[in-house]
Structure 1
């Protein structure tokens, strides 16, 4: 169950498992194209058997990169990338609104036994480059289980507002577009995962399509690979510590999820309403992502999560 870590300084950190050296993911932190809102991301992410469960720069959305933390509408800026949604006008190319998240330093980069940790400091910037926020991020691999064919990634981010006014986290939905509440932690699945099976802790068989905009402690996405036989299951779970006290409910977030025309999941910070972060205050969120070989059903996901500790 030994994990190993390779750091190409200025570029990426890759975590691998076992004697076979299966690369579970690469954490890429070098800056990329300005129009795509440069920020660190994980890609490729793989199952223990090597099946890829993320996509990178698909031709429909070049700024979709594996698993990454985003802010689609942030006090008038776009740290998501690409065109910006403007109510009444649709998506417009507004490069003056596209910001970035910048790597500052690593506080901890290590792998030992069945755990690996990447602890990083980042800064958030509007297009003009001012300092808007500082983030402390921790990406940890744990619970590697060859018997079940699964491993767990825990992503924790604490974002502190460094402006002298509120930071307002929103989404296209808070700005007028229905069913587009994406912001926060965002996963883009491979093209082969289109039309995959989606279910949540609250609903094993959602009626009428994806549970877009719903609330549940966890959500699972099952997709089938191209290029190799078999399926993979990716599960996203809120930490119990994630608080949300908005008008739309007390659960940490509402799910943004699509299986058509592409596979995507985000536990949105601001689906139906903006999240307001006052000056000097910190927004802290933790998520568990389970990456598993095979097509898991509701009972198996629930039992597996029950056996994991935060």
Structure 2
């Protein structure tokens, strides 16, 4: 794999195909929560498997770390859900500010990021570690986020469901799929399947989508580390494709002053539609 850096973004390529672009200094409106994110992500065949700034949610950015509710701040972008009032436009949208790279190579990228509130206060110091590996027919992103609370009081991660909206528990590692992935197939561990997985537990979840223009399908396998705090899946295949192993779906997650939240995920992007048996075998093969 080859990594090339420049103009606020780096790319990773394999076999002449640009597999990803990671923009770490985005030029977007403050309302959208400027933050580092992946877009596009591509298969080894070159098919794009992310959507970015869609007209229905301009703050959806390919694949990104988010927190729709962090105390009274919004590190997700856009509107904020308020109990008994619904979604509101509030002056509370923060930003995730790239500070430095400690390592920058396909086998290991280490990035330092500050989570800064709308008022300019640094609440979280994040160390993000990423690596990229390819194999015949697939490649894998290994993503680790260490979130240290640098405030002198505890922080509460939440979601719209925590604040009263039913089955809208998004918070954390969030993927938005391309338009053509609407009505894609959702598979998960223990024989589970379908959008009924919303709010449920599963050790892994896969999204299988179909591309426009080319006669291709693609598979994305999301596998959180078993050491992560308990998660529930936020997943939809209509009216658009999204997947998020939420760390605060039904209940808030508290992070004490000076404490660090450790999160790790593997995202496999495969050519074609992988059957359940192959997905289960791959997820079961991981060592953490």
Q: Normalized against structure 1, the TM-score is what?
A: 0.90
Q: State the 4+ residue runs in structure 1 displaced beyond 6 angstroms.
A: none
- Mapping 1:199-278, distance limit 5 Å: 199-206=187-194, 209-242=195-228, 244=229, 252-278=230-256
1:277 Cα deviation from its structure 2 partner: 0.3
1:11-30 deviation per Cα after TM superposition (whole angstroms, max 9, x unaligned): 10100002xx1011011011
Q: Is residue 117 of structure 1 aligned with residue 108 of structure 2?
A: yes
Aligned with 2:282: secondary structure?
helix
1:307 Cα deviation from its structure 2 partner: 3.5
Q: Which runs of 5+ in 2 are unaligned?
A: none
Aligned to 1:180: 168
**Aligned pair partner of 2:147 in 156, 159, 175:** 159
Q: Normalized against structure 2, the TM-score is what?
A: 0.97
Verify the 8 A CA contact 2:189 2:204 in the aligned structure 1: yes
1:230 Cα deviation from its structure 2 partner: 1.4
**Aligned pair partner of 2:59 in 46, 58, 63:** 63
Cα distance in 2, alignment partners of residues 40 and 159 from structure 1: 15
Q: Is residue 135 of structure 1 aligned with residue 126 of structure 2?
A: yes
1:204 Cα deviation from its structure 2 partner: 4.0
Aligned with 2:283: secondary structure?
helix
Tell which deviates more after alignment, 25-34 or 190-199.
25-34
Aligned to 1:4: 2
* Change in CA separation of 1:204 and 1:272 when aligned onto 2, cut-off 3 Å: closer
Aligned to 1:248: none
1:302 Cα deviation from its structure 2 partner: 1.0
Cα distance in 2, alignment partners of residues 210 and 24 from structure 1: 31
Aligned to 1:97: 92
Cα distance in 2, alignment partners of residues 194 and 226 from structure 1: 11
Aligned to 1:26: 21
Aligned with 1:43: secondary structure?
strand
Compare the two structures and name the one with the higher strand fraction. 2
Cα distance in 1, alignment partners of residues 263 and 63 from structure 2: 15
The CA RMSD over aligned residues, in Å, is: 1.1
State the aligned residue count: 287
